[in-house]
Structure 1
Amino acid sequence: MRVKINEKRTEIRDAEEMVVGAVTNPVIFELWDGSQENSVIRTEASYQEVKYGADEVTASAVLENEGAGRIALTDRYSQDNYGILLERTVKIQKAGGKKGIRLLLEMELFPEEETGFAELRYFAPPAIFDKNDLDEDGYEDYFHTQKTIFRDDRFNYPVFMAYSEKHKKAVRLERAPLPAFDSNPDRGSQGRDALFLQKTDIGSMGADGEGEGNVKLAACYPFYEGDATIGLYIVKTVPFGAFWPLEEGESFHVSYRLSSCSHKDFHDACWYSVKSVIDREKPEPKALLESPEEIVRYRLEALDKYYVEKTHAEDENEPAGYVLNCHPQEGRQLENIIQYGFTGQNILNAWNVLRYGYQTENPEYIRKARKVADFFADKIHIRESGLFYNLYNIDMKKVNFWWTGLLLPLAYAEGEELEELMGPLYDYRREVIDTLVNLKGAYLRCMNEDVTALLRLYRLEKEHGVLHENWLEAIQNYGEFLLTAQEEDGGWYRAYDLQGNPITHPELWFGKSICEKRSSTGTSISFLVEMYQMTGEEKYLAAAEKAGAFVKEYIIDKVRFNGGVHDSIYAKGQLIDNESILYPMFGMLSLYEATKKEVYLEGAVRAAHYTASWVCLWNVPLPEDSTLRKYGFNSIGMGACDTCGCGYVHPFQLMCVAEIAQIAVYAQDPELFETARLYWLGCSQTVALPENDWGYAEYGLQEEGYLVSWWAVDDPMFSGDKGFGHRWKGEGNKTCFPWINAVGVKAYWALLDRFGTTDFEQIRNKHFR
């Protein structure tokens, strides 16, 4: 690549001399007067002086007027092995009448032709996959915009890619070096200012397709997110950004790398963006403080403290399960609900406990695991339809229905209190909420998760000479439901009523497009394959392959994975998230191992690449006074959750560590294998242990998620002194559910089952040449 600068524009040319980017006005400042509305003035200019050296180009300009004072910009262009480096230095030589300043970069993409937002595809995990456009109207779905600008700390690595299908080329903009510091800004006397002065190294970048001309790669320093931010509110959008103090003697520096490569397709371009960072930067997560075996012991001991069972005299249903639901800092149980799949994973926990009970000869663990499975098979299973309920409320002694997830106040408030707690979100979602609270049914994913675990429990017990006919009956009955309910295209709907009929309304929640309506199809595949392996009946494998064809075509190849998370609080119920591609990956791997057909290995590799792209590859700078900074948090290896909540990380990707490693071995893909190691270490770092308890009440607890960027800090539901408030950057989300223990221990067993060890160096040395 090379840069060419003349009096009209700066051109970025790739190795084939194609102009992939052009900057018409390289000198763009925004000046701020200190108020909150109509307070920003934009100025644009060309360079005033350009000097060509042997290995670099230096360009400069001075902005001087009453408001700006005198501001000098120096841009230095050079080249390394990966692209063009642009180092930008701003010096305030004389203060003017304005209070703050920020520096912008706007580069038109493929400027030799008309190139709109819809002509390109974008990749900047976890913020954007393609266009976040499941309805394919050319706009990002959640803010309905063509201007997607995100803070650097919302990215798993601060690099933004735009890909042209026409030219088979990708153009990338990244921070180089990485942002190094951040703080909590002074947001005014009320603490609610959306524009403020802040000396922060966090900028922002993305694509801007609004306005005239071609779509642009855009960057801003300090950060600006515009109207499309989730930083302050869930529903209400306001401008959000920082300005460097416009004071004499102040200066700041920011650097970017611009690069372009040819790729055979979008998937290849996406995976290159991830693996090239792994190869170049070699990110390293924190080492485990205890052995994996000890961490498993602590996890299960903590889980056991939240085990509940009732006698027939106390509740004729005789419930048993793990009701872990607490602020981990306190450990006090918030609500006694046994939940299946998703955030509960009760039968997966029972499988973990049973295995551990056999391994350590702990009869009480074995008894409890059997009790949990008996209750699931006998009382949670609906024999007439083959389905399972999604939860049981122990205090109310009845089953209930879990549609709204993190719309938390729905679980405990009504009327005026509900409206007060939810604020504008309640009115925004009133129609959906009023429909959901009256629905009776279950999510397909939740049923698939725990019936698959029940199947594994049954086979484990059978290996030990113990048969549970009631478990087998429930498993087979549900298998028949799946076979009957499968659509002609191979898919299943996202949810079903108690009679086994699809639930499709409200569409905002259950989906409009086929990719949304059938988004959970991948969760059925592994169960069906394992049914085939247990019974030898071809009907199960045939249904699994039919589902596999659907998942590969619609979900994986089209990059339309969504709907894995069931607790959206955003503009629509279907999110693009890590879990909605993780289960298609499981399905493809199951089919490949059952059939050895290469098409399934290809699907598994593609799905694994996208699953791996949710890993955080840099240590995001946190405020010095934050809780996570205090305990030594390192974001490398943590897993991002969903596109809307980008900047929020969690440990769910432990669920797929062994499977990603296995696919990497099959494909001989060392960078993919490395992401499995990163997940294994990074997602395990925050388990409370004697060496570092993270401020949690019990060893073995782990918080559900962590904020490495801003998220809804002014929203009524998450602000103030409420139980789930203070979810600021550098803080945890004050939530602990059974799924956390479930996926952590499951990862341990899965690694042992597949590789005989949890030592990634041993696995690497054995399987990679």
Structure 2
Amino acid sequence: MKSGQCLLTVEPYDGGYRVRIKSGDTVMFSSDTPVSLMIRTAGRNTEKEYAVCYEKLEGDGRTLTATATVETVAESLIRVTDRYYGDGELVTLERTVKTERASGSDEGFSSRVMFEYVGGTPSFDCMDWFVPGVWNKDPVMDSPEGVASSYGVSAITVKDTRTGLPMVTARGKDTGATLSVGRINPEISSDISDFRAKSHITDENYLCGSVGGVIRKNSGTVGICYCYPASEEPYGYFSDGKPVKRYHPVKDGFSSSYTVTLRADITDGYNEAVMSSYMSYFSASDIYYFDADVGAAYDECIKTMLDYYGTKKTDRMTICGLPYGCFVSDGHVESDLTMEMGFVGMEISAAYQFMRYGYLTGNSTAVSYGEAMADMWAENSGLPSGVLKTYLWSNGVFDSMPCYLRRMTDGMEGMLDCCRIAMSNGKEYKTWLSLAEKYADFLVSRQNPDGSWYRAYDYGGEVFSDESVKRYHQYYDKDGINPSSKNSTPIPIRFLVRMYEFTGEEKYRTAAEKAAGYVIDVLVPMGKYGGATVDGHERTDKETGVFAMYGMNSLYALTGEKKYLDAAEQAAVYAASWMMVYDYKIVESTVKTGEYFIENASLSGQSLITSGHSTVDGFMAYTYYDYFRLYLWTGNVFYYDFARLAENNSKRNLNYDGRLGYASKGLCLEAINAADFFFITSGNAKADNPGVWLPWCGIAHIEPISIMTDVFGTARVEDAVKQPASELAEKLKAFGAGGRRK
């Protein structure tokens, strides 16, 4: 059967049949024993592998059915039937495992579909790896808690529910031989919560598998595999550092079935392998697209944020803006008027949205709120060095934490928007623009010769370093903050392009293009991004990839140079891979918030945040305008479909129609973790009903709706796409990167 440039063949071997994947006459991957069963002994946390060839083949030219039987030491007899068929690109394997005869000492079984890399060594290092939202190429920049953070193990496998899409792609570094194994449209369910369960459990209702790689010491190779039921190695995230293994029961007549999809190719590099395989699996998936009422979502989010606006007089200033967050269940404010300029606070972006809403609707109160917020930050957050104080306590004191590129850039993008809306309405904005210009000038003056910036600076504008410990010791962790890392370089690019559009200052464009050169030359070849999630250690994350997409899209809009479009596509697919495109039922919640979510919301449209855990959030709601314009530029329907997913499915966790029972219709949960079939959310663990909303949650929904409406006259990509292509192109051109004067 054909798969891309490769051919899947079944041929005689050792008295039976094996499966091989070839490119021409060259064998790239082989499954000499295509049936691999792991048998668990009753009363023990031990297992024995039985690996055999196929015994019998039947085919009709379109499908191939292969069978094998395994007889265990305890004399259980298990029959495996595999059915193969393909479409020229993807090969589907349907497997059924049935116990014909059970022995009392054989308690459970799991099976593996595995292909060994013929050109490799018994080491993960001989290949580059990709598991969406979990494993990106190699251990570099992975979280220390990540399952793929160390290659000194015999297996790295993660269950379906920890991935954006349950698949693994592995590419031979020396040969370019590339194989993907995974599940399309997975049917996932469980009656037990892995969060509470033991490390080894046999349960016929556990319907969840795992993907990854296994070292095959006997053959001296590494295998790419899918395990069913799931096996998590070297550990699960809630297993105290131990492997987590699930089995189906060995009992007379019991059978289990599952389907995996294979894709083989020869690729020129890691990014090509990832992009082609992920888009292929995504496109083959029967994704459910929620039909969100985007207009209602906008209205409820902006109204909720206006309701939470507050002011407070202190000895130092009058604070005004949004509180740090609130509990969704009762609306109780968590931290009064403690606030962040950007990141999870997005105070200045909220100021812009208040002004925009106020001018559009004639709501002068909303305008005044936005102006007061912009004034407060413009008058109090600047420093002579050009860096910004970004975290304000409710007593009017700025926290002396590191000045991260992420927080500062978020804030100044919002400030530039405030300038644009003020100008278009004949209002004064010079103080606001002055702050944005000082920060942009700081970026120009402190840009490294290679085009990069550091992740975090001190108040003097120097890289946050050992010398800063005396002042900021409580925040300093050289192995965590990694302040001198250059991986955050993508973050300010869009801001600088927009500043160039607004001011005409060539220095901003030059700095943006220089930074893009660093991203293209250094970060794109890494195949991963990290550094934007500044509430934790630097690690691979989706948000830095989103900023890379923003920056490259902005430069492509400005220059039309293909190198920027190519880099934007790489970053866009990387970021997309962190979003969950499937659903499953959560088994357990101990709080009402979780019960409402289980019954009325969805995991599809939520996205993994960083490596090292399985927590998801709604951040990708921000992105649907940028994916839509990638579709308009490239014609690749993947970007249109992903834009629809980000636009609509992200709203399933938003209470805009009241179905979630939250205190306000503009609220949603800031983050949840349900990968272990147990509902966990952020917030005070001692609260009767935890679950918090932070201001960024509202901005993530409002911002792309605003941009889509300003550019195309409609908030929905489904409506915008109906406009003539020439009109859409002209509207994109007129908007540019979003910094032009109105």
- Residue 254 (structure 2) pairs with residue 244 (structure 1): no
Cα distance, 1:26–1:276 mapped onto 2, change above 3 Å: closer
How much has 1:553 moved relative to structure 2?
1.6
1:638-692, Cα deviation, whole Å (9 max, x unpaired): 333223234x3321112221122112212222211221111011112221133x4
Match for residue 155 of structure 1 among 157, 163, 167: 163
Q: Secondary structure at the match of 2:280?
A: helix
1:608 aligns with 2:609: no
Does the 8 A contact of 2:132 with 2:166 survive in 1? Answer: no
Identity %, equivalent residues: 22
Query: 1:2: how far off?
Result: 2.8
Q: 1:330 and 1:496 mapped to 2: Cα distance?
A: 38
Structure 2 residue matching 1:237: 3-state secondary structure: coil
CA shift digits 1:368-397 (9 cap, x unpaired): 111111111111222x22221221111x43
Structure 1 residue 448: deviation in Å?
A: 0.7
Unaligned runs of 5+ in 2: 1-6, 467-476, 727-742
- 1: CA distance, partners of 2:709 / 2:285: 29
Residue 182 of structure 1 deviates from its aligned partner by 2.5
Deviations 1:154-201 (A, max 9, x none): 2222221112343333211122562243232488xxx45222232211
Taking the TM superposition and a 5 Å limit, the aligned residue runs for 1:540-579 are: 540-568=508-536, 573-579=537-543
Which of 730, 743, 746 is residue 700 of structure 2 equivalent to?
743
Report the counterpart of residue 297 of structure 1 in structure 2. Answer: 299
> Which amino acid in 1 is paired with 2:206?
T
- On the 8 A contact 1:665/1:767 being kept in 2, the answer is no
Distance 2:288 2:547 in 1: 26
Whether the aligned pair in 1 keeps the contact of 2:192 and 2:206 (CA below 8 Å) is no
Residues 263-291 of structure 1: per-residue CA shift (max 9 Å, x gap): 34332222222322343334232111x3x
Letter in 1 for 2:305: L
In the TM superposition, 1:296-335 aligns within 5 A as: 296-311=298-313, 314-335=314-335
Residue identity opposite 1:239 in structure 2: P
The aligned counterpart of 1:175 is 183
**Pairwise CA distance, 1:80:** 4.5
Asked if structure 1 preserves the Cα contact closer than 8 Å seen for 2:301 and 2:656, the reply is no
Q: Which residue of 1 aligns with 2:625?
A: 658
Paired position in structure 2 for 1:637: 605
Whole-angstrom CA distance in 2 between matches of 1:158 and 1:768: 35
Q: 1:763 offset after TM fit, Å?
A: 2.6
State the AA in 1 paired with 2:140. D
Structure 1 357/144 Cα, relative in aligned 2: closer, same or farther at 3 Å? farther
- For residue 23 of structure 1, the aligned residue among 28, 31, 36 is 31
Paired residues of 1:581 and 1:607 also in contact (CA < 8 A): yes
Q: Per-residue deviation at 1:316? A: 3.2
Structure 1 CA distance, aligned partners of 2:677 and 2:422?
A: 45
Following TM superposition, by how much is the alpha carbon of 1:510 offset from its aligned partner in structure 2, in angstroms? 3.0
Q: 2:211 aligns with which of 201, 205, 209?
A: 205
1:484-495 matched pairs, under 5 angstroms: 484-495=445-456
Q: Give 1:495 deviation, angstroms.
A: 0.6
Which of 713, 716, 719 is matched with 1:759 structurally?
716
Please tell me whether the aligned partners of residues 662 and 754 of structure 1 are also in contact (alpha carbons under 8 angstroms).
no
Moved >6 Å (runs of 4+): 711-714
Give the equivalent residue in structure 2 for 1:414. none
Aligned counterparts of 2:414 and 2:28: Cα–Cα separation in 1: 50
- Unpaired segments ≥5 residues, structure 1: 402-439, 727-732
Task: Tell me the CA shift for residue 702 of structure 1.
Answer: 0.9
Question: Secondary structure of the equivalent of 2:288?
Answer: coil
Alignment: residue pair count: 697
The 3-state SS of whatever aligns with 1:631 is helix
Partner Cα separation in structure 1 for residue 549 and residue 668 of structure 2: 26
Q: 2:426 is matched with which residue?
A: 465
Instruction: Give 3-state SS (helix, strand or coil) of 2:161's partner.
Output: helix
> 5 Å matches for 1:444-523?
444-504=405-465, 506-511=477-482, 517-523=485-491
User: Match for residue 48 of structure 2?
Assistant: 42
1:271 matches 2:304: no
Alpha-carbon separation, structure 2, partners of 1:176 and 1:595: 38
Distance 1:31 1:282, change over 3 A: closer
Please give the alpha-carbon distance, in whole angstroms, between the structure 1 residues aligned to 2:344 and 2:669. Answer: 13
Q: Match of 1:142?
A: 149
Superposition TM-score, scaled by structure 2 size? 0.87
* In 2, Cα distance between equivalents of 1:504 and 1:664: 42
Contact 2:457 2:464 in 1 (8 A): yes
1:497 CA displacement: 0.9
Q: 1:340 to 1:102 in 2, by over 3 A?
A: farther
DSSP 3-state at the match of 2:552: helix
Query: 1:99-134 deviations in whole A, cap 9, x for unaligned?
Result: 632323263433155474222212221112212424
- Matched to 2:633, the amino acid is Y
Residue 192 (structure 2) pairs with residue 184 (structure 1): yes
Aligned to 2:646: 679
How far apart, in 2, do the equivalents of 1:116 and 1:368 lie? Answer: 59
SS at match of 1:299: helix
Corresponding residue SS for 1:467: coil
Deviations 1:55-93 (A, max 9, x none): 423221132443x64433333444444443333222234
Change (3 A) 1:192 1:261: closer
Give the SS at the match of 2:231: coil
Assess if the C-alpha contact under 8 Å between 1:106 and 1:216 holds in 2: no
Q: 1:206 to 1:598 in 2, by over 3 A?
A: same
8 A contact 2:142–2:611 mirrored in 1: no
Q: What corresponds to 1:667 in structure 2? A: 634
Tell me which of 562, 579, 582 is aligned to 1:618.
582
SS in 2 for 1:644: coil
By how many angstroms is 1:136 displaced? Answer: 13
- Separation in 2 of the partners of 1:449 and 1:222? 43
Contact 1:494 1:517 in 2 (8 A): yes
Q: Map 1:59-98 to 2 at 5 A.
A: 59-66=67-74, 69-98=76-105
In structure 2, how many angstroms separate the alpha carbons of the residues matched to 1:546 and 1:177?
A: 42
2: CA distance, partners of 1:675 / 1:124: 18
Tell me, what secondary structure is at the counterpart of 1:208? strand
Q: CA deviation at 1:242?
A: 1.6
* CA 1:484–1:141: 2 relative to 1, 3 Å: farther
Give the distance between the partners of 2:721 and 2:25, measured in 1 at CA. Answer: 40
Corresponding position: 1:591 with 2:558 = no
Matched to 1:556, the amino acid is V
> Contact 1:25 / 1:44 at 8 angstroms: preserved in 2?
no
Q: 1:424-444 CA distances to partner (integer Å, 9 max, x unpaired)?
A: xxxxxxxxxxxxxxxx43211
Shift of 1:724: 7.7
Deviates more, 1:662-671 or 1:48-57: 48-57
Residue 210 of structure 1: CA displacement?
A: 7.0
Looking at structure 1, the residues matched to 11 and 234 of structure 2 have their Cα atoms a distance apart, in angstroms, of 33
Amino acid at match of 1:557: P
Alignment CA distance shift 1:99-1:393 (3 Å): farther
Q: Aligned pair in 2 of structure 1 residues 536, 245: CA closer, same or farther (>3 Å)?
A: same
Superposed displacement of residue 517, structure 1:
0.3
Using the size of structure 1 for normalisation, the TM-score is 0.84
| 8 Å contact from structure 2 (residues 189, 207) kept in 1 | yes
Q: Secondary structure at the match of 1:201?
A: coil
Structure 1: which amino acid aligns with 2:620? Q
